[in-house]
Amino acid sequence: MKEWIVELCPEISEWQADMIAEAVYNSVLEEREACAQLALQGTGEAVQTKTLEILQSERQRIADAIRERGQK
Protein backbone atom coordinates (compact mmCIF):
# COMPACT_ATOMS: atom_id res chain seq x y z
CA MET A 1 0.00 0.00 0.00
CA LYS A 2 2.75 2.43 0.96
CA GLU A 3 4.54 1.91 -2.35
CA TRP A 4 1.33 2.65 -4.23
CA ILE A 5 0.80 5.87 -2.24
CA VAL A 6 4.35 7.06 -2.89
CA GLU A 7 3.99 6.19 -6.57
CA LEU A 8 0.70 8.07 -6.76
CA CYS A 9 1.98 11.10 -4.81
CA PRO A 10 5.79 11.22 -5.09
CA GLU A 11 5.88 14.66 -3.47
CA ILE A 12 4.86 13.38 -0.02
CA SER A 13 7.34 12.28 2.61
CA GLU A 14 7.86 8.66 3.56
CA TRP A 15 6.41 9.24 7.03
CA GLN A 16 3.29 10.73 5.46
CA ALA A 17 2.89 7.67 3.24
CA ASP A 18 3.30 5.49 6.33
CA MET A 19 0.57 7.40 8.16
CA ILE A 20 -1.82 7.21 5.20
CA ALA A 21 -1.19 3.49 4.73
CA GLU A 22 -1.77 2.85 8.43
CA ALA A 23 -4.99 4.89 8.44
CA VAL A 24 -6.31 2.98 5.42
CA TYR A 25 -5.35 -0.35 6.98
CA ASN A 26 -7.10 0.53 10.24
CA SER A 27 -10.20 1.67 8.36
CA VAL A 28 -10.32 -1.62 6.48
CA LEU A 29 -10.04 -3.56 9.76
CA GLU A 30 -12.84 -1.50 11.33
CA GLU A 31 -15.09 -2.01 8.31
CA ARG A 32 -14.35 -5.74 8.26
CA GLU A 33 -15.26 -6.02 11.95
CA ALA A 34 -18.45 -4.01 11.39
CA CYS A 35 -19.44 -6.45 8.63
CA ALA A 36 -18.66 -9.41 10.88
CA GLN A 37 -20.78 -7.94 13.67
CA LEU A 38 -23.64 -7.33 11.24
CA ALA A 39 -23.48 -10.97 10.18
CA LEU A 40 -23.89 -12.01 13.82
CA GLN A 41 -26.97 -9.88 14.51
CA GLY A 42 -30.25 -11.69 15.03
CA THR A 43 -33.20 -11.55 12.69
CA GLY A 44 -35.68 -10.70 15.43
CA GLU A 45 -38.02 -13.40 14.14
CA ALA A 46 -39.17 -16.47 16.05
CA VAL A 47 -37.71 -19.59 14.44
CA GLN A 48 -37.57 -23.22 15.39
CA THR A 49 -34.69 -24.19 17.70
CA LYS A 50 -32.88 -26.33 15.10
CA THR A 51 -33.25 -23.64 12.45
CA LEU A 52 -31.93 -21.06 14.91
CA GLU A 53 -28.89 -23.24 15.66
CA ILE A 54 -28.14 -23.58 11.94
CA LEU A 55 -28.63 -19.85 11.42
CA GLN A 56 -26.32 -18.97 14.31
CA SER A 57 -23.72 -21.42 13.02
CA GLU A 58 -23.91 -19.91 9.54
CA ARG A 59 -23.65 -16.38 10.93
CA GLN A 60 -20.56 -17.36 12.89
CA ARG A 61 -19.02 -18.95 9.78
CA ILE A 62 -19.62 -15.74 7.81
CA ALA A 63 -18.21 -13.55 10.59
CA ASP A 64 -15.12 -15.78 10.87
CA ALA A 65 -14.60 -15.67 7.09
CA ILE A 66 -14.80 -11.87 7.10
CA ARG A 67 -12.28 -11.61 9.91
CA GLU A 68 -9.92 -14.15 8.29
CA ARG A 69 -9.65 -12.03 5.14
CA GLY A 70 -7.41 -9.68 7.11
CA GLN A 71 -5.06 -12.51 8.03
CA LYS A 72 -4.12 -13.43 4.45
pLDDT of residue 21: 93
Q: How far apart are CA 2 and CA 19, in angstroms?
A: 9
- Find, among 58, 66, 56, the residue nearest to 36 by Cα: 66
Q: Model pTM greater than 0.75?
A: no
Per residue of the chain (72 residues), what is the pLDDT tens digit? 888 888 999 999 999 999 999 999 999 988 888 888 877 776 555 556 667 777 778 888 888 888 888 676
What are the domain boundaries of the chain? 2-71
